[in-house]
Amino acid sequence: MLSVVIFLMILTLYNCRLDEKDENPIPILTSISPSSKAVNMPSFTLTARGSGFIADSRIVYNDVELTTNFINSNTVSARISSNKIKKNVNNVSGLNGKIHSVFIRNPEPGGGDSASLKLSITYNHTFPGPLEIFETGHSYGNPVIAVDGKNKIYIIFENYNYQNKIYNISVIKSVDYGKTWSKPQHLVEFDRKCYNPAIAIGSDGNVYVTFYVIKLYFMYLKNGESKWSPPRELTSDTNIPLKSALSVDRNNKVDIIWSQSDNNYNNKIYYTNTMSSSMNFSTPVNIFKGWENYSLVSDLAISSDGDGNVYATWTSWPSGGSKYSHSVFNYSNDEGVTWGSPDKVFSVCSSSDMDVDPDGNIGLIVSSSYLPFRNQIVFYKSIDNGQSFGSTVKITGGFNDYNPKISIDSVSNINVIFKLNKRYYYCRSINKGKKWAAPFSIGNIGGGADIALDKEGNVYVVSGHYSKLFFLRNSTD
């Protein structure tokens, strides 16, 4: 009998030890990324890091358990929907917002909750100081930027090597949100200047580029490959640098426009698109004709929606008659086969840009110049596929605001940068352009600049200034 009792006691102690061994650990949360977001942003992935995570761990966001992706014992993630950060900030003029709690919960047996960390929801973005990207002995110009669906960032730019006296169109890329960058890869090398690169990325991850060196050239990089296609000529020789713009619709059709002078130095705007996956192009169509000749064209932009609608805008200076420049807009509703008559959307301006929101509405941004030497940034919107534009919405009342760039995210937030003296400023609308937050400076980064967004609405800005490239991203950590 005594032996039976001893055996049962030993068995009980053994099972207790097994139970203790099988208990889930208490999780430890050390960091979350991002640690801040601006209100009304698209859905995003919240990544939590620490220790003691298990397959059944849950991220708890504002006291709600989320469907959680177990990556390893140190990392888990979850999607945060856009509506969870839409109506949390009422301070429309400042950056103060609300704090949301985040912690990790492990289930019983054992388990428990980690200490919580804070996710800050602010009304507007903030930008840390710019990152300088440069090589000794080089000068840079006209950088443009684009982001693919996996948040890989590409920057294309003019690059001159003083030592070798070689001109390049170069590309750098980042796979960690712009924290580090690859060494420049030279797409082409010439003994004469290469001008005016443009870039766009399709939903399939393919990257497309145009630039000018005697002719307008086109190149592309297929997703997952490291070797770019050979340069393809889109135009004949010209001594006047060509400016171009390109975009990719949701069906991955590439649309390209460029300005080109005739023998009388009057500019025309030509349009072409890709007709198949083999990158064959349609016959170029002149979309700018019939009402005035122009000797100078700048700030070309093109967008399309995948439903057959293609939109183009540019800024032009007349070769005769009125001395004032015009922001010009034209559109096609049949994949670019036929175009309407170009409209002077805004007279007396210095630059313009355009983007299309997820509902197909067109946002047009213009630096107006009605008062001598007093530019201001204004916004127009079209809700009828470009047939008409609404009334002027003044974004700034500045003294010399110019070179605006616009990009609209997947929930229709409108992001704009513009230049004032040597500084660039940022402003944002979260109600489709009706009202705008006050612009604020993002840095003394000089030169020309470009803006791009990733799928989670993060803002990326690049600027080139002599021997440096400047890169900025809105703060998230």
In angstroms, the CA 121 to CA 97 distance is 5
Of 4-8, 119-123, 341-345, the least confident? 4-8
Q: Which residues contact 10 (CB under 8 A, 6 or more apart)?
A: none
pLDDT in tens, 94-131: 344 578 899 999 999 999 999 999 999 888 999 988 99
Of 157-161, 182-186, 341-345, the least confident? 341-345
For position 141, what pLDDT does the model report? 87
Give the max Cα distance, the chain: 117
Residue 475 half-sphere exposure toward CB, CA atoms < 13 A: 17
Closest-CA residue to 83 (of 61, 60, 105, 58):
61
For position 477, what pLDDT does the model report? 67
Q: Which long-range contacts (CB under 8 A, 24 or more apart) does 363-369 make?
A: 363/406, 363/408, 363/414, 363/433, 364/313, 364/327, 364/329, 364/389, 365/395, 365/404, 365/405, 365/406, 365/416, 366/327, 366/404, 367/401, 367/402, 367/403, 367/404, 367/418, 369/324, 369/325
Confidence category of residue 18, pLDDT binned at 50, 70, 90: very low
In angstroms, the CA 182 to CA 118 distance is 33
22 phi/psi in degrees, rounded to 5: -90, 0
Higher pLDDT, 209 or 140: 209
In angstroms, the CA 381 to CA 389 distance is 5
pLDDT in tens, 31-79: 999 999 999 999 999 999 999 999 999 999 999 999 999 999 999 999 9
438 is written with which tokens? 């006050």
> Could you tell me if 288 and 273 are in contact, meaning their C-beta atoms sit under 8 angstroms apart?
no
Span 190-206, average pLDDT? 91
In angstroms, the CA 305 to CA 81 distance is 25
> Could you tell me if 122 and 134 are in contact, meaning their C-beta atoms sit under 8 angstroms apart?
no
Closest-CA residue to 119 (of 94, 93, 89, 75):
89
**Domain layout of the chain by residue ranges:** 24-122, 131-473
Give the number of other CB atoms < 10 A from CB of residue 455.
16
311 is written with which tokens? 């939109």
85 phi/psi in degrees, rounded to 5: -125, 20
Residues shown for the chain: 477
pLDDT in tens, 390-434: 998 999 876 788 889 999 999 999 999 999 888 899 999 999 999
End-to-end CA distance of the chain: 67
In angstroms, the CA 275 to CA 254 distance is 9
> Mapping DSSP to helix (H, G, I), strand (E, B) and coil, where does residue 77 land?
strand
Task: Enter the DSSP assignment of 247.
Answer: E
> Mapping DSSP to helix (H, G, I), strand (E, B) and coil, where does residue 51 land?
strand
Model-wide pTM > 0.75: yes
Sheet-wide strand order for 215-221: 195-201, 207-213, 215-221, 232-233
Q: What is the CATH number of domain 131-473?
A: 2.120.10.10
In angstroms, the CA 61 to CA 80 distance is 9
In angstroms, the CA 451 to CA 470 distance is 12
Span 133-152, average pLDDT? 88
Alpha helices in 310-447 (DSSP H): none
In angstroms, the CA 49 to CA 390 distance is 48
433 is written with which tokens? 């352009």
Q: Do domains 24-122 and 131-473 have the same CATH topology?
A: no
Is there a cis peptide before residue 184, judged by omega within 30 degrees of 0? no
Q: Report which secondary-structure segment, H or E, holds 38.
A: strand 36-38
In angstroms, the CA 474 to CA 461 distance is 9
Question: Does pLDDT of 318 surpass 50?
Answer: yes
Question: Does pLDDT of 160 surpass 90?
Answer: no
Architecture of domain 24-122: Sandwich (2.60)
264 is written with which tokens? 């009388």
